Structure 1
Amino acid sequence: MGEDDSIHIEFEESMFGRSQSLRLIREDIVPFMEIREIGARQILVYMGHLYKYLKEEDRTDCISFVDPGHLPTCPLDSNGSHLSQHISNQLEAVCRDSVCLIPYNTGYHWILTIVNVAENMIYLLDSTKNRCRDDAWKMIVMNGVKLYNASRGIPKWPGFKQLTGNLKQSGGVECGYYVMRYMKEIVECEVLRVETMFAGCVKNKAYSQEQFDEVRSEWSEFIYSHNSMNELLYERLNLFEMNFYIDPDCQNEFDTEWGSEFYLQEVREENFLRIVSELRAFDNLLELYADQL
């Protein structure tokens, strides 16, 4: 993937109640592959995967999202009223009494805010230990939900609670990945009780590499499944050479020629995704794949 190449992703209008798209460039993909610090664009891609999952499960009325790219860090000298209004507008556009997931960057750290409209409650998940709560962001979200309640004739302030039963990061750059993992667990939970899911207090337990890789694999799968990505892939698959070892037990899973090297002769979408999971060499595969693009 060259410096000037990009991957265009168009999100469904129903996801945010408006059209939304982005172009991923190499600088978006490489940090994600290397588990370096990430931003709103990478998180937005994963939210696209989660929305696709909800559509397949016919559960889009249960969980909605706010685009983190439209929630810039609020300056210290601002009351954040424009952000509160945006949250209110977004709830009105897509929420339908659902649980709404709002990733937010405080300026140096990603946190996840969960609005349970039916219960008029706001929950906060923070992946760091012993960090002070962001009171400015708390008031922004509470004002946004209050505006939304007022638009429905409900003159009530929402409740607020920071949950402590979520796993905590051990390093300094994983916060964005933790937010994505929190969202995955919430979205995939059929009986959605957020406060119960993250009850108690967890201090010294982190997500495993395998749990991170599940998120990263789904992230790449969403990009691959997008039409523009497929077109690029099919154009170049005949030139796609892979030089690392596959367990011979997996040989029947793939259309390959064996030797010291093997070449991919035919790859359908299901075979490509199977390769990602079977090889357990996610980084090498995606790096090679990105280079071929």
Structure 2
Amino acid sequence: MQRRWTRAQMKTRIRIDKSSILKKTAMMADGQVTKYDCIKVQSENDIFRCDSYTYLSWDDFEAVPTMDELVGAAIVSYMMVLFNKIKYGPPERDHGICFVNPTVILTSTRKGKYKNIDDASRGVADRRHWVLGALDMKSDTCYYLDSLSSDNFNMQLKQIFDSTMCPVQPGSTECRYYMLKLMKEIVEEGIEVLVKDNFGGGTVEYTDDDIDDIREEWSEYVTNFIY
């Protein structure tokens, strides 16, 4: 049966010619991934204190080469990448960072109770703007990071959250990629990057290379589960 053309298929793949990793991922998406309804991606069970696996569809694999909006399962997959950096990296990399599975707090999945990431992530395709929240348990501080603008911060939330300056996305669809990059900086540098408002070294906007680095790390990880 021939796969029906999707919105992602009709989009242009962005900057993949500059990256052998992204080019390989696009080729595998066109070849191997089209043979399956979805690909199971798994991590260590202690990332979310439950069975840590999710499912990626062909559209998820195509979203990264085309820079389309990412859904919950793709974001969870990159959290697995960061978790492995902590667990198998040098001891100084471990800043005591823990993750919350975003699929269990999305409004589209909040009604039901799920036993694992698999159940929670199926069908998650939330298309609204995403922000990042970070909780410092030592100081009881909640940090709020919005890649659109810190001016979007709800004034009523100031009693709970500390609005943190971060690079601002140039368009309307990059929020998921910016959120992943922000998470990566927290994992690598610890809470200090939040306290000092020093994401991206103080840059106004992440570069294409910054975002492509996220895309490549995600691609390298998930393609290991295709075969």
| TM-score, normalisation: structure 1 | 0.54
The aligned counterpart of 1:177 is 177
Q: Give the unaligned 5+ runs of structure 1.
A: 75-79, 83-104, 140-157, 233-293
| CA–CA separation in structure 2 for the residues paired with 1:18 and 1:177 | 25
2:36 alignment counterpart = 4
Question: Is the aligned partner of 1:127 residue 2:147?
Answer: yes
Partner residue, 2:76: 44
Deviation, 1:198, is: 3.5
Distance 2:58 2:81 in 1: 19
Q: Secondary structure at the match of 2:47?
A: helix
Give the aligned partner of residue 112 of structure 1: 132
Name the structure 1 match of 2:208: 209
Q: 1:236 is matched with which residue?
A: none
Q: Give SS of 1:14's match.
A: coil
Q: Which amino acid aligns with 1:167?
A: P
CA distance in 1 between partners of 2:77 and 2:179 (Å): 13
* Structure-2 change in CA distance of 1:30 and 1:183 (3 Å): same
Measure how far apart 1:40 and its partner are. 1.1
Deviation at 1:3, TM superposition (A): 5.8
Equivalent residue number for residue 30 of structure 1: 62
1:162 aligns with 2:163: yes
Q: Does 1:68 align with 2:69?
A: no
Partner in structure 1 of residue 220 of structure 2: 221
Matched AA of 1:182: L
Moved beyond 3 Å, runs of 4+: 58-61, 190-193
RMSD, aligned α-carbons: 3.3
> Which residues of 2 match residues 182-201 of structure 1 at below 5 A?
182-189=182-189, 192-198=192-198
Number of equivalent positions: 180
The 3 A distance-change label for structure 1 pair 106 and 51 is: same
Query: Quick check: 2:164–2:194 contact (8 Å CA) kept in 1?
Result: no
Structure number with greater Rg is 1
> Deviations along 1:34-65, whole A, 9 cap, x unmatched?
11111111111110000000001345561000
TM-score scaled by structure 2? 0.68
Matched residues, percent identical?
A: 25
Query: What letter corresponds to residue 2 of structure 1 in structure 2?
Result: T
Post-superposition offset of 1:224:
3.0
User: Shift of residue 222 of structure 1?
Assistant: 1.3
Q: Residues of 1 paired with 2:144 and 2:167: CA distance? A: 13
1:100-124 CA distances to partner (integer Å, 9 max, x unpaired)? xxxxx99620100000001100000
CA distance 1:60–1:19, shift in 2 (3 Å): farther
For 1:131 and 1:16, the matched residues in 2 are separated by 32
Whole-Å Cα distance in 2 between the matches of residues 130 and 67 of structure 1?
A: 24
Q: Which residue of 2 aligns with 1:92?
A: none
CA contact (8 A) 2:150 2:164 kept: no
Residue 21 of structure 1 is matched in structure 2 by 53
In the alignment, what sits opposite 1:263?
Answer: none
